[in-house]
Structure 1
Amino acid sequence: MAFPLFDLTGRRALVTGSSQGIGYALARGLAEHGASIVLNGRDRSKLESAAKSLRDAGHEVSVSDFDVTDHDAVRQGIDAIERDIGPIDILVNNAGMQFRTALEDFPAERWEQLLKANISSVFYAGQAAARHMIKRGQGKIINIASVQSELARPGIAPYTATKGAVRNLTRGMCADWAKHGLQVNAIAPGYFKTPLNQALVDSEEFSSWLEKRTPAARWGDVDELVGAAVFLASRASSFVNGHTLYVDGGITTCL
């Protein structure tokens, strides 16, 4: 029977940026496969609302509202989870942001925000969690990259730069930490209907372009990312390391 390979019972997963969108969908999916969940974000009320929904469905959920762009806050927050809730077996680095404008007009302060939210947060949380995982000789880290780790389009060059960095940081984490029993991989979503993409979803012109550009001819649904996350979080991926798994309807296969 293959199912036990994907069983997450007895494992604890911290998912950053998980009060809505992809992060919430991944947290729910991991919970449905047996994991206890720690939701993370900066808005305590949104986290509690998301946690209630999961608890009402019968899942074990805690919340931790530290800021993933603050190195000290991340270290203290993860140490507190380890001390007060229990060991983090799975870390999903999902928190991130987007800002769209022509590169020649891109504000420097927005560049700095993107760097902190999209790549520094992955380093901060990955490092803080890995220090505990290394002591136990095991752990799973899943970084959320993007099709923009591979592709580019006008108006989002800095975002593209940060997601390319996530892909390569994933490789670097593998190079350093695989010998300690950790598996570090990334999921690269294509175009999914999320609050981050709402402006694009609402654009008939963009949606038409996307449907023509993507072999699957549609937007993705966030629940379609769950299988990849469960695979990378479970024993089924015990020898998969440093890999970026594109879940994109085939868009990266076509020029």
Structure 2
Amino acid sequence: MSAAAAAVFQAGRSCRIGGRFSQSKLLHSIVSSQPMHSASAGSQQCREMSSFFFSYSSSTFSSSGSPVQNGERADIDSSAASEARPPVVFVVGAGDATGAAVARRFARDGFTACVSRRPRHAAQLQDLTESIRSAGHRAESVPLDARKPDDVVAAVDRIERDVGPIEIAVFNIGANVKFDTVDTTPRVFMKVWEMACFAGFLVGKECGQRMKQRGHGTIIFTGATASVQSNPGFSAFSSAKHGLRAVAGSLARELAPDGIHVCHVLIDGMIDTAFVRDNFPAVYADRKPRQGILSPDSIAEQYAALHRQPKDAWTFEMDLRPWVAKW
């Protein structure tokens, strides 16, 4: 056993209290403070410690979080089981582009990716889950209509109980529609607001409550150009995105004293998606070779960087755009 692995083993033993483990602080330190892909001199030790920690936890605990003794599961209360399991990134709006890339990125850092879309997209959600698992990482599908308060509460409760503590929550639901204001029906306006703003409030509220009890965590809201600029045809979308930005700002100021980092990321440009490729082929053909379209993987890297920021230099709002963008 290497020195790094031995350190984790000894720390794990020291965290055993009355037959139970309390390893969340150790795990949080490894995953959050020492990123596995760091280029620092200590990165190899960090990777080794992280790898041993997760294998140690997996061999010590069953999939439900209860400890395994001689191949048999021992009784343990739910709070202790939660502390012993790897942390979770909860991605609400895990579509085929940005949401999926964010889930994969954090899964590579050792988080269990709990990915969520509306139940009608359950098949695509399962495909994403399986793709993450096939790469050797942990993932769970959480079909969810995030506009429904009771469903959001139930989803968060299920994750915290059955999977692990939510360390990172990413709200990435899009609701981009284009209608002139005089042609926008009340139903369309309300539906867009529910998806792009109200759902974000629900997810931030529920995840924030759990994180506040533990004293750490990150909540990231995906914004858009419409979050700060109202263009013709986008009154419904823009008002909802303005509202989401306001929710994020209030939540950031409320939860920062409790150690919770809340961020709003303004995506100011086209993202490399099937929609853009199919509907703007000329623009795509011109910009893609020049890195003139936002890559979902590049966006995901910035989300990971936000989570790793030290407490003395937190970002609330980050705006991302290609270098060729005019703004």
TM-score bracket, normalised by the shorter chain, equals 0.7 to 0.9
CA contact 1:66–1:74 (8 Å) conserved in 2: yes
Q: CA deviation at 1:217?
A: 7.5
1 CA distance for matches of 2:326 and 2:302?
A: 18
Among residues 194, 199, 202, which one is paired with 2:273 in the alignment?
194
- Separation in 2, partners of 1:251, 1:131: 40
Q: Supply the distance in 1 between the matched residues of 2:238 and 2:323 (Cα, whole angstroms).
A: 18
Q: Which residue of 2 aligns with 1:164?
A: 242
Distance 1:41 1:188 in 2: 21
Contact 1:19 1:39 in 2 (8 A): no
How far does residue 233 in structure 1 lie from its aligned partner after superposition?
2.0
1:153 alignment partner in structure 2: 231
Question: Shift in Å at residue 231 of structure 1?
Answer: 1.0
* 2:110 equivalent among 34, 49, 52: 34
Q: Deviations over 1:197-239 (max 9, x none)?
A: x16862367x38x96xxxx8822121110121101122x2434
- Does residue 173 of structure 1 match 2:256? no
Letter in 2 for 1:194: T
Structure 1 position 174, deviation (Å): 1.1
Q: Indicate if the aligned counterparts of 1:173 and 1:242 stay in contact, CA closer than 8 A.
A: no
Aligned partner of 1:227 in structure 2 is: 301
**Contact 2:292–2:323 (8 Å) recurs in 1:** no
Counterpart-to-counterpart distance in 2, 1:250 and 1:151 = 20
Residue equivalent to 1:48: 126
SS of the aligned residue for 1:117 comes to helix
TM-score between both structures, scaled by the size of structure 1: 0.86
Provide the TM-score with structure 2 as the length reference: 0.68
- Asked if the contact 1:6–1:231 (Cα under 8 Å) also holds between the matched residues in 2, the reply is no
* Structure 2 SS opposite 1:145: strand
The within-5 A match list for 1:13-28 is 13-28=89-104
Residues 242/73 of structure 1: CA separation in 2 closer, same or farther (3 Å cut)? farther
- Cross-structure match for 2:316: 243
Percent identical pairs in the alignment equals: 21
The letter of the residue matching 1:31 is A
CA distance, structure 2, for counterparts of residue 138 and residue 252 of structure 1: 36
Q: CA deviation at 1:53?
A: 0.7
Aligned equivalents of 1:184 and 1:252: distance in 2?
A: 27
Report SS of the residue matched to 1:249.
coil
Q: Assess if the C-alpha contact under 8 Å between 1:147 and 1:252 holds in 2.
A: no
Q: Secondary structure at the match of 2:212?
A: helix
Amino acid at match of 1:87: P
Asked if the contact 2:292/2:324 (under 8 Å) is kept, the reply is: no
State the match for 1:59 in structure 2: 137
Comparing both chains, which one has the higher relative contact order based on Cα–Cα distances under 8 Å and sequence gaps of 6 or more? 1
Change (3 A) 1:192 1:18: same
Q: Secondary structure of 1:89's match?
A: strand
For residue 218 of structure 1, give the secondary structure of its aligned residue in structure 2. Answer: coil
Partner Cα separation in structure 2 for residue 44 and residue 204 of structure 1 = 29
Q: Work out whether 1:203 is the aligned partner of 2:276.
A: no
Give the superposition deviation at 1:71: 0.8
Give the stretch that moved more between structures: 224-233 or 154-163. Answer: 154-163
Gaps of 5+ in 1: none
Contact 1:6 1:230 in 2 (8 A): no
Q: Deviations 1:122-169 (Å, cap 9, x if unpaired)?
A: 110111111111111111100111122223332222211222222222
Counterpart of 2:305, as a letter, is F
The amino acid of 2:299's aligned partner reads L
- Residue 22 to residue 97, structure 1, CA distance change in 2 (3 Å): same
What is the CA–CA distance in structure 2 between the aligned matches of 1:143 and 1:55, rounded to whole Å?
25
Give the Cα–Cα distance (whole angstroms) in 1 for the partners of residues 154 and 231 of structure 2: 37
